[in-house]
Amino acid sequence: MDILVLIASYLAQAVSWIWRAAQFTAVGLGIWALIDTLTHDPSHFIAAGKRTKGFWLGANAAGVAVVLLMGATSMLGLLGVVANAVYLADVRPALRYYAPVRVRSSIRFPGNGRGSRGGRGPRDWTPGR
């Protein structure tokens, strides 16, 4: 009988730790979604057809607040997690399409780097060289 009580106690502790890990993960995802929302230009949301930046700021902030106050296991907490997950899974990839393209400031030609030993220059296209 004592062994069953011991097993039940360990299982209860394991479930408690798993729920805490889920809670921290839900808060972390919500904060990630909130910070990512802040980094995007408002015009990108309209161009992607994903509502407005203010809408997603409100949804992600409310999701984080509800998860912190009520926990991820409550019904409202679950809705907050879903709102943050929708942003990360659907809106964020659509916004990345409109991110500015980063271009190098200089063009690198073969044979012009440090330690190069000759080689073809940028416009030397003669065959056999």
pLDDT at position 32 is: 97
pLDDT the model gives residue 31:
97
Hey, what amino acid is at 104?
Answer: R
pLDDT of residue 109: 58
Do residues 111 and 119 touch, judged by C-beta distance below 8 A? yes
User: Would you write out the chain's pLDDT as a tens digit for each of its 129 residues?
Assistant: 799 999 999 999 999 999 899 999 999 999 999 999 999 999 999 999 999 999 999 999 999 999 999 887 788 889 999 999 999 999 999 998 888 777 766 666 565 555 555 555 556 566 665
pLDDT at 1: 75
Residue 6 zone, left/alpha/beta (φ > 0; ψ -120 to 50; rest): alpha
For the chain, the structural domain boundaries read: 22-96
Predicted pLDDT of residue 50: 93
- pLDDT reported for residue 36: 96
SS3 5: helix
How high is the pLDDT of residue 103? 73
Alpha-carbon gap, residue 119 to 1, rounded angstroms:
82
